[in-house]
Structure 1
Amino acid sequence: MMGIATARRAMTHRDLPTLAAAAVTLLALVEVLAPAASRPATDDLIGPLALALGATVPLAFLRAHLMLTAVTVVAAALLAPAVYDRVFLSGLPALAAALYGVGRHRDGRVAVLFAVPFVGFALADGRHGIPLLVGAAAALAVGNAHHTRAATARRAAADWGHADTALAHAALGERARIARELHDIVAHHVSTISVQAETARYTTPGLPPEGAEKFLAIGDTARLALTEMRRLLGVLREDVPEEAVRARAPQPGLDQLLALVDEARETSGGAVRLIVRGPAGPLEPGLELTAYRIVQEALTNARRHAPDAATDVELIYGEVELRLRIRDCGPGRAPGGAAGHGLLGMRERTAMAGGTLRAGPAPAGGFLVEATLPVRAPETR
């Protein structure tokens, strides 16, 4: 592992192109100037040396001037066999590095343009051109594959970032909507406290002055709390039209669940049943609202993603918890994907009530939403 890490650091070192250029240039000088029986005359060394240096020295400028380096190296690599009937072996690493850089950092059209001269040279000189074409195509293909992989990774990261942002905004919107609904329930109880405190001041026989003052303080505190709640709700309702706020109906409870099921049966075209188990009793208004909204959203998802499929809505009353099970007989796909806003809203409501929610394909087929909500007996007034 340490050897791999060292190799990666070496490959990304800023001086690597210069060091590589120096190495291949030295090899080029040896290749041209080495003694041989067929060594050309001194006057004939200028051309081969120029092409050998042109095929190797530009490698030092690969990162700073990629395209200029690639054009120079390719030109030298193709001119050498055409003019001197030989391929400079020392220039092949520089050629491969330059073409890989073109494929890695430019799009596919540029890579194709660089491959065209090699195709033409291979047609004209198969002995030297075909090996050069195969090597050039391989370097361009590998570079382009890395380019494509990196671009795909960037797009995926951007898509995930956008999805996370959209999910966060959706969660905030769901929480604001839940808070607006719960406000009506809390406001009703606070108003009741204020009215009862005022009434007790005048209807309690023999109430001492100290008791009347305490009832007056209770009523004033309740009215102040109600005012602050309305101010807070004004912030949450900034994005809601005033007409919609004024026309909003009282928040529903479990006593309206039968009407909801009847409506779902009429609009979906499939059989919808309501099953109640255990002793049904009064629950906290906030808990009833949460249960109603979960069932409502689950039926909406079933109608949208499993039309004409039979759906069962089951309420199981327990001593310490209320369980909801909504199961359809559809294909069992998650509505809207794993991050669907319908499931998001149900999860937010369940979490605010201190419960748990599971949603996914049912064991026997279809899609199942199962919520468990803790129950506390409503306070008696």
Structure 2
Amino acid sequence: MLDIADDLHRWVEQRRDFAVATVVATHGSAPRRPGAALAVDADGTALGSVSGGCVEGAVYELCQEALASGETVRETFGYSDEDAFAVGLTCGGTIDILITPVRAADREAARAPDGAGAPHGAGPADAAALAGALAAAARGQAAALTRVVQGPPALLGRALLVRPDGTVTGTLGGHRALDRTAAAEARALLEAGRTATVEIGADGSRCGEPVTLLVESAVPAPRMLVFGAIDFAAALVKVGKFLGYHVTVCDARPVFATAGRFPDADEIVVDWPHRYLDSQELDARAVLCVLTHDAKFDVPLLERALRLPVAYVGAMGSRRTHLDRLARLRDAGLTERELHRLRSPIGLDLGARTPEETALSIAAEIVADRRGGSGVPLTGAHTPIHRDPPQRMGSVA
């Protein structure tokens, strides 16, 4: 649900009633991962997606029914020869979807001093937790939304919001043991920046039967640091923004590192690249793209970058430049293991020539590395189209 937080937060601010359908489990070749959502408001406006088109029509109708009934429901969609093109997944996978109504009246009741309205002021789900999670995600703040997606019917859709400092909003049905366990699991996933399902046994839930939770983590956008204010960097900035990164361009030359040349960048820094990198605290989702193509800039920069626990380090240059760079980095004391992390020449082999094509090849390599893709054509390949990404601390599922 937090993947469309900007739009849903706007709906909350406009006091709209809406229902949101969230993917809570997938099996086989499912096009969207848990957390993906489609929302429908009372006027029939829709946004988001749960399947890339296969079952959107059926889910749209379920959202309208949930708005009318006020009930949270869970539905499963799988492949069927009979109705695959109507309400089934033509790709052959299965997805489980939770449909939750979110009403303005419930949100108002949740804010009332006496908690008037439905239990905990939330109805089928904790409206205060949902609204808080949407607001946090829309503002780029860290928060984890935890919802019951399988278990006792009375708990289905109940929600709580967990912030990095341990503050909790909402409850999973008033079961303190379940709330404590859920909050601890949510904080752990939030620290890793992951969205995942969590299974809690009957003993841990204290509600008589097992409970499955979906924890959606909202974290600030991952960072892309582009070093070298060249025309290739301008194209890469655009692609980086398209992929959801907070993009910084850094170059020691003020005549090149200007807002006029990089209007899409979130930040433009005039400084020596290695000195700027030393001043930053980066998490395991960060990607570093070194386009300086000059040994006096890129060698001291890479000497530091390859020792950081970031997701990706790539450097532009010919194969001859790459070999010379490796020799310089070895002389600087880098180990073979550290050098193995360097993606150079940067990007996948797309035959790219233009800055835009080169930016696409770099972005393709970053996505393949993040998602565990092979980078080979899907035509004739026997690898899965959709796969679980390699798990790294701090990665975003």
TM over 0.5: no
Query: Whose helix fraction is larger, Structure 1's or Structure 2's?
Result: 1
- Tell me the TM-score normalized by structure 1: 0.20
Looking at secondary structure, tell me which structure has more strand per residue.
2
Larger relative CO (CA 8 A, sep 6+): 1 or 2? 2
